[in-house]
Structure 1
């Protein structure tokens, strides 16, 4: 397992946010409902106003016609005051008499004959006719300005509601969604902070037993099962490594004695294979124990000593850079990490390829660069190459994962990629540490107590 990077709460982009999608859906639904209901109410209201206006016009026309048909009815009484126009027409629709405001003369053809909606002097009107006995036909028109204004006001109110209400609904929906999903967001933030190398923690449950509560409870049960499975896997892995350790120790000792008695190349090859299996079991043991159980034994050693150990473990490696300095590290752990990188590089380069290990040091860090002449890393793997059991070269897939974990334990990093000239390149960096003569310098660096070099 790799050491987790510093945790940062991941924020979901607004366009992918569940809260935004819910608020948007509610807004669109509200817009549709307001449109349908608003249009329905406005249509009913305008129809009611139109019927009232038509009834008012018909009443006016009937009253005027009745006055002409029965002169004794309402004798001496004036018509109710109303803004409108009245005219008397003969059988040929010629003007017999007309209101002064219409500017019509007696005997001329009536210009509005047969029209129910018209404009008189720029004013929208609605007209009705009634028979007036011997006088002819009564024509009465009333202005529709109030009805037109009401219709326009209703349309403006509806448009304003369609514009303002969705914006308010979206804002309110986002606020309500934030409060409703606050527990889920808190759980997601906590899940981002869970360190799988320590323990699988459970997520806090909200007080309300709603859908969010059920989801988080199900996730907690899943986390408990995952932790149980991980514990069983580590236990099984540890038992396997333990069973392999004793036979490998006997095998290495036997091969060492055999190599002392002669220079048989098959014995030397078998010894290298035994070393390979030993390192593989060490990687498996480290994976089984987990990151926290690893201990770092700090030593201040010559870089040359590290080079000699690596040269014996991975023959054919070309060492470049400055190896005359001193290193503050755990020699066994660092040897294991670099050996894993070199073994992978040798496997990728093949017997005829080249593998180089370059050491460079600055005031801030020590850098180990492993480069090979192989085909390079598969681009589709990316950072997955550092995950356990992920391999692009046919190996166990543990070496790079363990190497990165060892680098993190030293406070360093391990990165990988393809070199500009071809082949793979891995860079392992460690913090540079120099021993000063004064105790204050040691205290300022915060370094642990150093042991003697092996």
Structure 2
């Protein structure tokens, strides 16, 4: 059943199942996800650039401090050696020291380098060496006329600092995008919540009724501006629909009076003569009267049909259809009886046959097959035309949508009549060629419930 949603203080009708296909937006199509992803990538780029810059600056400062410390130690030891004339010098712990004579041999070495004592100097012109699996950075100083002083400090602290900085940056690059994406999705959900609700309400509005404006958020932001523009568009659409309905109502009103006179005249003429052309013209006048009534209901914004139930032979319906759409081939079993509104059911099936005749052309073939079971009566209308346009699908039953050059109102009315009978109307294209319409109504075997027969 159709429902009503409150929009802007007004009740707006919604159709069954309307908006269900857009109730949940796939994550890859979500604006909220795309915004969060963009901000995440921007944050990742900024963290990468800023993090690398800060770490590089810190490591350079550490290198400068290390070099200053190494140079200070080398200068201090060089002055001590010169002052004590190569006597015994106290060497600070945590470093390496060697004194190289003019002959290139080590004359004095610290305890950790005792293996190099009295041996040729192995690290000529090298500032980065490895001693006992420990990286060492070294400098040299001239010591008067005695030779060269070589001083080294282990750089394992610098190596550990670089490794720690790299791990910290890698952790930041891994954790920050995840946190930014989650926070962005949460913030985006709150920021776009009003737009999502407005989209859901807009998707549920039935365009066959008066178009109501959407509620505006309290904050005058971009969403407010967008909804304001949509509301202005809805107002223009509503005004255009009102003008169209007014014009349609005036046209139907102008047609109503002549058709009433024509129908009465043909009814009196058919009573005085048995001319089949007069009887056919009377039926056509009846159908035109029903069509103008349907157009009037459409002009009022809804299609409401009133049914007058009767129990009739199927042959009676066949005779009416044969006079209205000559050349129709009747197949199946037409010997049973139907519980229906004869005029409306004739109108519904006549629309299907007329569509088939237009599609098949003068040389084509239109066949209607009647099958009956205790539960359902089925009318199957087939033609030899090109078939239904694939791009229309079920929209072929919407008002003023046509694939055969007609007004597009007949199939909409036919489906409405089938639904009001408690049945269905579907359409498809046959494998060989041509369209197939299947109209069903409940069978005449209704049991003991006789109240329905008296409905009118």
C-alpha distance in structure 2 between counterparts of 1:219 and 1:366, whole Å: 47
**Counterpart in the other structure of 1:84:** 95
Q: Which moved more, 1:24-33 or 1:176-185?
A: 176-185
Q: Distance in 1 between matches of 2:381 and 2:65?
A: 94
The residue aligned with 1:193 is: 204
Q: Distance in 1 between matches of 2:443 and 2:19?
A: 27
Query: Is 2:173 the partner of 1:169?
Result: no
Where does structure 2 lack aligned partners over 5 or more consecutive residues? 1-13
The residue number in structure 2 matching 1:47 is 60
What pairs up with 1:286-365 in 2 under 5 angstroms? 286-291=297-302, 294-304=304-314, 305-362=316-373, 365=376
Deviations 1:299-341 (A, max 9, x none): 1422513333322222222233344444444333322221111
Matched, 1:206 2:217: yes
Matches within 5 A, 1:49-88: 49-71=62-84, 78-79=90-91, 81-88=92-99
Name the CA shift for 1:141/1:105 in 2 (closer, same or farther; >3 Å).
Answer: closer
SS of the aligned residue for 1:104 comes to helix
Task: Give the whole-Å Cα distance in 1 for the aligned partners of 2:387 and 2:263.
Answer: 33
Would you say how many aligned residue pairs link Structure 1 and Structure 2? 439
1:21-420 paired onto structure 2 within 5 Å: 21-71=34-84, 78-79=90-91, 81-251=92-262, 281-291=292-302, 294-304=304-314, 305-362=316-373, 365-420=376-431
1:179 positional shift: 1.1
Q: Measure, in 1, the Cα distance between the counterparts of 2:332 and 2:25.
A: 46
Distance 2:231 2:376 in 1: 42
Q: Deviations for 1:392-421, whole angstroms, at most 9, x for unmatched residues? A: 322222212222233334444322121233
Q: After TM superposition, give the deviation of residue 213 of structure 1 in Å.
A: 1.9
Alpha-carbon distance in 2 for matches of 1:162, 1:433? 74
Cα displacement string for residues 261-294 of structure 1 (whole angstroms, at most 9, x for unaligned residues): 79698x8998788677656545533432333x51
State the secondary structure of the residue aligned to 2:115.
coil
Post-superposition CA distance 1:10-58 (Å, at most 9, x none)? 2211101000000000000000010011001101111111111111111
Larger RCO, structures 1/2 (Cα 8 Å, 6+ apart): 1
CA spacing shift, 1:450–1:255, aligned 2, 3 Å: closer
Q: C-alpha displacement at 1:227, in angstroms?
A: 1.7
Q: What SS is found at the alignment partner of 1:134?
A: coil
How much does 1:172 deviate?
1.2
Distance in structure 1 (CA, Å) of the matches to 2:102 and 2:195: 83
Q: 1:232-271: per-residue Cα shift (whole Å, max 9, x none)? A: 2111101112212333444566677888779698x89987
CA distance 1:326–1:296, change in 2 (3 Å)? farther
Gaps in structure 1 of 5+ consecutive residues: none
